[in-house]
Amino acid sequence: MVWLQQYMLSVVSVAILCGLVQLFLSENTGITGTLKIIMGVIIAVTVISPILNLDDISVDGILDEISLDSAYAVADGEQFSYDYISTQLKEEAESYIHSKANTLGVQIVANVSVSEGMPPTVQYATIRGTVTPHAKKQLSAYMEEQLGIAKEDQTWTS
């Protein structure tokens, strides 16, 4: 993007120079109209010359840079999306497990692990707390049926 900075600097410099020349010209001089036309042509040539002289600017290089920047933006967007979805999924799954445990009269702490693939899915659950065998069976069935956490992926600790 250095070429863009150089381009803008040259256009602004020529415009300022032409403005200063016009400022010092007297309106009564017969040459004023001619100089205004010449300054307009100079500004137009300065603006158009990079477009006409594409050999100086590597269009392929510019496109490669834009492509690389867009690839980084896509990767960042995918990572942000994964992080957001996995956080929401984890919070909602843990909330669901707590809610079901409360309806069974059991106080637990649930910790859910989410897969790293896209879309993220609930993989494992670790349940801590004192749970009766009946409540454990029901809560385990809820997690398997509603959240897709297989019984072998459920860890129960007191």
CB-based contact 119:86 (threshold 8 Å): no
45 and 98 in a single domain? The answer is no
Question: What's the confidence (pLDDT) of residue 19?
Answer: 80
Average pLDDT across the chain, whole number: 83
Is 10 contained in some domain? yes
Terminal C-alpha separation, the chain: 61
pTM above 0.75, yes or no: no
63 vs 102: CA distance, rounded Å: 58
**The last residue of a domain, from among 38, 57, 76:** 57
**The last residue of a domain, from among 16, 34, 57:** 57
Is 148 contained in some domain? yes
Q: What is the DSSP letter of 143?
A: I
Name the stretches of the chain with pLDDT < 70.
Answer: 1, 26-30, 51-63
Is 25 contained in some domain? yes
108 vs 98: CA distance, rounded Å: 7
Is 63 contained in some domain? no
Q: How many domains does the chain have?
A: 2
Domain that holds residue 12: 2-57
Q: Pairing relation of β-strands 154-157 and 122-128?
A: parallel
- Taking each helix axis from N to C end, the angle separating 32-52 and 2-24, rounded to the nearest 10 degrees, works out to 180
Number of residues in the chain: 158
157 vs 29: CA distance, rounded Å: 97
**The last residue of a domain, from among 14, 38, 57:** 57
The CATH number assigned to the domain holding 152 equals 3.30.300.30
Token output for 136 = 């454990």
